Chains A and B, each alone.
Chain A
Amino acid sequence: MVPSEDAAPVLDVDQILADPGVRIVVCCGAGGVGKTTTAAALALRAAERHGRRTVVLTIDPARRLAQSLGLTELDNTPRRVKGIDVEAGGGELHAMMLDMKRTFDDVVLQHTDPAKAAEIFANPFYQAMSSTFAGTQEYMAMEKLGQLHARGEWDLIVVDTPPSRSALDFLDAPARLSRFLDGRMLRLLLAPARSGGRSMFSFVTASFGMFSRVVQKVLGAQLLTDLSGFVAALDSMFGGFRQRAEQTYRILQAGETAFLLVATPEPDAVREAAYFAGRLGEERMPLAGLVLNRVHRPAVALGAVQSRAAADRLADLGGHDATVDVLRAHAALAQQAVREEQVARRFTEAFPAVPTVSVTAQPADVHDVDGLRTIGAAISRP
Chain B
Amino acid sequence: MRAAERPADPAGTGWPSRLHVVTGKGGTGKTSVAAALALALAAGGRRTLLVEVEGRQGIAQLFGVDPLPYTERHLADAPGGGEVRALAVDAEEALLEYLDMFYKLGAAGRALRKLGAIDFATTIAPGLRDVLLTGKVKEATTRTAGQRRVYDAVVLDAPPTGRIGRFLNVTAETARLAKVGPIKTQSEGVSALLRSPMTAVHVVTLLEEMPVQETVDAITELTQLGFPVGRVIVNAARPPLATGREVTRAELKRGLAAAGLPTDAATVAGLAGEARDQQVRRELEDSLRTDLAELGRPVTELPLLPDGVDPAGLAAFAELLRRAD
What secondary structure prevails in chain B residues at the interface with A? helix
Per-residue interface assignment for chain A, residues 307 to 318, with 1 indicating a CB less than 8 Å from any chain B CB and 0 otherwise: 000110111010
Asked whether B286 is an interface residue with its Cβ less than 8 Å from the other chain, the reply is: no
**Which among B127, B213, B238, B242 is the interface contact of A132 at CB below 8 angstroms?**
B127
Number of A-B contacts (CB under 8 A): 223
Known: A132-B126, A219-B181. A330 touches B274 (CB 8 A): yes
Determine the chain A residues whose CB is within 8 A of the CB of B271 once the complex forms.
299-300, 302, 326-327, 330
Interface pick from B81-89, B141-149, B204-212, B221-229: B204-212
Interface pick from B12-20, B38-46, B52-60: B52-60
Asked whether B191 is an interface residue with its Cβ less than 8 Å from the other chain, the reply is: no
Identify which of residues 119-171 in chain A touch chain B, using a CB-to-CB cut-off of 8 Å.
124-125, 127-129, 132-134, 163, 165-166
**Bound-state Cα–Cα, A327 to B108, Å:** 67
Determine the chain A residues whose CB is within 8 A of the CB of B4 once the complex forms.
none
- Nearest-neighbour CB distance to chain A for B270, whole angstroms, equals 3
Are B173 and A132 touching (Cβ within 8 A)?
Answer: yes
The number of chain B residues touching the other chain, given as a range, is: 35 or more
Asked whether B180 is an interface residue with its Cβ less than 8 Å from the other chain, the reply is: yes
Identify which of residues 212-231 in chain A touch chain B, using a CB-to-CB cut-off of 8 Å.
214-215, 217-220, 222-223, 226-227
6 sampled A-B residue pairs with Cβ under 8 A: A208-B117, A222-B178, A310-B260, A310-B261, A322-B247, A325-B243
Determine the chain A residues whose CB is within 8 A of the CB of B108 once the complex forms.
207, 210
Are A332 and B238 touching (Cβ within 8 A)?
Answer: yes
Asked whether A363 is an interface residue with its Cβ less than 8 Å from the other chain, the reply is: yes
Interface pick from B70-78, B276-284, B315-323: B276-284
**Bound-state Cα–Cα, A299 to B252, Å:** 15
What secondary structure prevails in chain A residues at the interface with B? helix
Q: How many residues of A contact B (CB 8 A)?
A: 78
Asked whether A339 is an interface residue with its Cβ less than 8 Å from the other chain, the reply is: yes
**Bound-state Cα–Cα, A218 to B278, Å:** 57
Determine the chain A residues whose CB is within 8 A of the CB of B6 once the complex forms.
none
Are B241 and A325 touching (Cβ within 8 A)?
Answer: yes
Are B281 and A364 touching (Cβ within 8 A)?
Answer: yes
Determine the chain A residues whose CB is within 8 A of the CB of B184 once the complex forms.
220
**Bound-state Cα–Cα, A333 to B56, Å:** 30
Determine the chain B residues whose CB is within 8 A of the CB of A163 once the complex forms.
26, 160, 162
Are A214 and B177 touching (Cβ within 8 A)?
Answer: no
Q: Which residues of B contact A (CB under 8 A)?
A: 25-28, 31, 54-56, 58, 61, 98-99, 102-103, 105, 108, 111-112, 115-117, 120-121, 123-129, 159-160, 162, 166, 173, 176-184, 208-211, 213, 238-239, 241-248, 251-252, 254-256, 258-262, 266-267, 269-278, 280-281, 284, 304, 306-308
Asked whether A70 is an interface residue with its Cβ less than 8 Å from the other chain, the reply is: no
**Which among B126, B241, B243 is the interface contact of A133 at CB below 8 angstroms?**
B126
**Bound-state Cα–Cα, A363 to B277, Å:** 5
User: Taking CB as reference atom, which chain A residue is nearest B160?
Assistant: A31
